[in-house]
Structure 1
Amino acid sequence: MTRSLIPGILAMAAIVVASNILVQFLFGQWLTWGAFTYPFAFLVTDLTNRLYGAVAARRVVLAGFATGILCSLIGTQIMGEFGPLVTWRIAIGSGLAFLAAQMLDVSLFDRLRGARRWWSAPLLSSLVGSSVDTAIFFSVAFSAGLVWIEPANDVGWANEILPLLGLGPAAPLWASLALADWSVKLLLALVALVPFRIIVRQLTAKAA
């Protein structure tokens, strides 16, 4: 089984590394390019779960988690214009969010494996996992209430009160960033159903 997991582990590692790099580049006012690559981590997890089971999926998740920790540690040592590219709050939030969301995705997918509709397991597990991921990451990384995690890190910019996404009620800036990120995750969870269905059909047909 270990050899069969290599493609999933490599794909997960590639997504995590790419997302850590692309998160440094803005896309519009509320997003970074990393928002468009990271959601596909759920696709890798769900494909592994569907093809090899929950135990295998958890191994792939742990490989992605280890990759993410390494990327964060490197990022904390690289100085940008405004300080380290990755603050400790971001590193902690990223790690906690990834591990909690992906493990929840694995558990939900496994419970829904026998659902009548093929898309129930990948879609619902990804939607719930994505929601948990966004909530944990943005609150840990930027919420004023958690400033004790890294007191020297000024997150005042993220807590500036502005209209939500420039249109809605007043809210901290980080809430707009979280909502935009979450919306992309939900959209890509739907998009990911297409490659999920194609890959599962092809691989199960070969195994038959």
Structure 2
Amino acid sequence: MLTQRYTLVYVALMTAVVIASNILVQYPVQGMLGAFNLADLLTWGAFTYPFAFLVTDLTNRHYGPRNARIVVICGFVIAVALSWYLSQPRIAIASGLAFLLGQLLDISVFNRLRRQSWWHAPLAGSMLGSILDTALFFSFAFAPVFSAFGPNDDFATGMAPVLGVLSVEAPRWISWALGDLSVKVLFALILLMPYGALMSVIKPMPAVKA
């Protein structure tokens, strides 16, 4: 009963993170950073989505990969269903596909490295999962080749400097993808702190090999 209760907590946290990210990824960060226009570099979703990896890694540590996959699948189903109404269907599909595959990769990498130094598993899992998730999401959500799933965002497909490098231009969604990935990598490092702080509280269950 206690296991089910905690699993529901993890599912609720995962769902909240993904829905918030689905909505916020549609809003570029406004403002200037020196000579760089932040709207060409980042969306607000980059600051919320990395917490999905923290939830997955804590679940994996606590209950093992099987329960972590259950949390991911439950979060995937609920988040996509709600996001279908709260954001564009194409965004919901892209988010669901990228989320599912990125989180499952994180679980696999985490489980393989869980017996190494405490930070190896969450860092490697989050990094590799973020790369896969970012590539899948931004390609499916904004690339013209996937326009059959929804209209293209003219602002997203317009040309912009890549990561603020004025001599190199590409569709803005590519610059967003690189900018978002940079933030996710940074957050993968930052979120090691709460993960490490919670290790003494969230310990592996007896059936889970630490």
Alignment of 1:167-178 (within 5 A): 167=165, 169-178=168-177
1:106 match: 107
Q: Give, in angstroms, the shift of residue 35 of structure 1.
A: 1.7
Structure 2: how far apart are the matches of 1:161 and 1:109?
37
2:19 match: 17
1:190 match: 189
Confirm or deny that 1:68 pairs with 2:79: yes
Q: Report the residue type matching 1:203 in the other structure.
A: I
Return 180-189 or 33-42, whichever deviates more.
33-42
2:33 match: none
1:158 match: 156
What is the TM-score of this pair, normalised by structure 2? 0.84
Q: Report the residue type matching 2:165 in the other structure.
A: L
Cα pair 2:123 2:189 within 8 Å, conserved: yes
Cα pair 1:51 1:200 within 8 Å, conserved: no
Cα pair 2:22 2:95 within 8 Å, conserved: no
The counterpart of 1:36, out of the listed 32, 47, 51, is 47
| Structure 1: gaps spanning 5 or more residues | 76-84
Structure 2: how far apart are the matches of 1:31 and 1:181?
6
Cα pair 2:119 2:192 within 8 Å, conserved: yes
2:144 match: 144
4+ aligned runs moved over 3 Å, structure 1: 20-26, 154-157
Q: Report the residue type matching 2:181 in the other structure.
A: W
- Identity among equivalent positions (%) equals 48
Residues 28-57 of structure 1, C-alpha deviation per residue, up to 9 Å, x if partnerless?
Answer: 313232221111000000001011100010
Aligned residues: 194
Cα pair 2:42 2:176 within 8 Å, conserved: yes
Structure 2: how far apart are the matches of 1:90 and 1:35?
15
Structure 2: how far apart are the matches of 1:202 and 1:108?
23
Cα pair 1:17 1:67 within 8 Å, conserved: no
User: Relative contact order, CA 8 A, sep 6+: which one is greater?
Assistant: 2
**How much is the aligned-residue C-alpha RMSD, in angstroms?**
2.1
Residues 39-77 of structure 1, C-alpha deviation per residue, up to 9 Å, x if partnerless?
Answer: 1000000001011100010111112102221222213xx
Alignment of 1:81-120 (within 5 A): 85-86=87-88, 88-115=89-116, 117-120=117-120
Structure 1: how far apart are the matches of 2:27 and 2:176?
14
